[in-house]
Amino acid sequence: MTNILRQPRFWQRPVQPARPVDLSSIPIFRRSAFAPDQGPGPWLDQPDAQARIEERLAAGEITAAEAQMCRKWSRDGYVILERFYSAALLDRTWKAYEDAIAAGNAAPPAEPVYEGDPLPGRLHNVHFFVRAMDRMLHEPRMNRVVGLLLGAKAMPFQTIVGHKASQQPAHSDAIHMTTYPCGYLAANWVAFEDIDALAGPLVFYPGSHKLPYVLSEDLGIPAGTGYERYVSDYEPAIQRAIAEHGLQPEHFLAKKGDVLLWHANLLHGGSRLQDPKRSRKALVCHFIADGVVCYQDLVGTLAHVHSGENLYRYRRFSARRFLKRALAAVRARS
């Protein structure tokens, strides 16, 4: 009975690709480098996803609230968690980021929107520099939600933090963070303040996750060409897809503490900033499933989680390690 209770849930297991791959044998990481019948795909991307949700609900594997979340994700490619984080936690975390900037431990680029703009631009992988942001990335409740939606153990691995609107054209994260097997990536957008229409809120296109993935090879973009071809070829292709399929945008007018999670292939971006002096404090966290290969399709290289490098500037706090040390200290004194 004890062994049964200790069995991991279906969303706590790593993905096992149908065809394992030797990463050292791949010179350029693109979709064509992997087997076409890669499988298995995320459970909520399958044609019978709705039936699977009902089966797991009936079997007690998921709750009614989780089933509703899964239906939404399968149908629309996103879910919104209202007031998921407390205002106090967000204030402490943002202060830690501001303190890191003041101390020179984090250096976001300027990226001015207007002359004299005092707000810095977006900083990637802030969790390498700020422990409070790292704790947000590895927050257990969020990792559980992402694991459920992916149907596999979630692996937090990338962050972007920003003081203001990105005004980034619509795109799918899949071209920047591609997985083998395909689709095992999710992202969240955490609002650190109330966001209104003037602040350039996140814009997304419900249901767009069901469109075919558009990757570099589909557009003839060679590896290593930088972002020039991304701007000239990829972004217009996404705009054509939006128009051809009649996709309608929605804007994330978030309250402080709200979280938007989206599918690997959901088209999204930053809407136009109507009031340049408005801030839009937010943190984006990206997650992949344990067991998948993650690579940067546009560049053709592996993501840092597979590069053999430890990019953390510090050792993540481990409660288990802390308890072991505390117990050892007690034993030494006795």
Structure tokens at 114: 């207007």
CB contact at 8 A, 177 and 288: yes
- The label of the residue with tokens 């209202």 reads 82
In angstroms and rounded to an integer, the radius of gyration of the C-alpha atoms of the chain is: 21
Q: What is the pLDDT of residue 147?
A: 98
Is there a domain that residue 214 lies in?
Answer: yes
In a domain, 159, yes or no: yes
Start-end of H helices in the chain: 2-5, 49-58, 64-76, 87-102, 131-137, 140-150, 228-229, 235-244, 319-333
Query: Is the residue at 20 inside a domain?
Result: no
Q: In what order do the strands lie in the sheet with 123-124?
A: 78-81, 259-263, 185-191, 282-289, 154-162, 123-124
Tokens representing 313 are 């500037």
Query: Residue 10: which of 57, 76, 47 has the closest Cα?
Result: 57
Burial of 135 (0-12, 13-18, 19+ CB in 10 A): middle
Say how many domains are in the chain.
Answer: 1
Helix (H, G, I), strand (E, B) or coil at 161: strand
Q: Which two tokens stand for residue 257?
A: 């503490």
Token digits for 299?
């560049």
Nearest to 149 by CA among 81, 243, 219, 236: 81
Question: Using an 8 Å Cβ cutoff, are 172 and 238 in contact?
Answer: yes
Residue 95 within a domain: yes
Q: Which two tokens stand for residue 188?
A: 């969240």
The answer to whether residue 43 sits within a structural domain is: yes
Give residues with Cβ within 8 angstroms of 105, minimum separation 6. 129, 130
Domain residues for 145?
Answer: 2-15+25-333
pLDDT digits (tens, 9 = 90+) for 176-189: 999 999 999 999 99
Q: Which residue has the higher pLDDT, 317 or 221?
A: 221
The mean per-residue pLDDT over the stretch 199-218 comes to 97
Is pLDDT above 80 for 109? yes
pLDDT tens, residue by residue, 59-97: 999 999 999 999 999 999 999 999 999 999 999 999 999
pTM: predicted TM-score of the whole model, two decimal places: 0.90
Cα angle for residues 223, 226, 230 (degrees, 5° grid): 90
Is 213's pLDDT higher than 60? yes
Q: Is residue 279 part of a domain?
A: yes
pLDDT of residue 202: 98
Residue 295: how many CA atoms within 13 Å on its side-chain side? 23
Q: What is the pLDDT of residues 217-239, one digit of tens each?
A: 999 999 877 789 999 999 999 99
What is the CATH number for 56?
A: 2.60.120.620
d(CA 185, CA 181): 10
Domain membership flag for residue 93: yes
With bands split at pLDDT 50, 70 and 90, how would you rate the model's confidence at 3?
A: very low
Percent pLDDT > 70 in the chain is: 90
Q: What is the pLDDT of residues 264-311, one digit of tens each?
A: 999 999 999 999 999 999 999 999 999 999 999 999 999 887 765 555
In a domain, 205, yes or no: yes
pLDDT for res 331: 56
> What is the model's pLDDT at position 2?
41
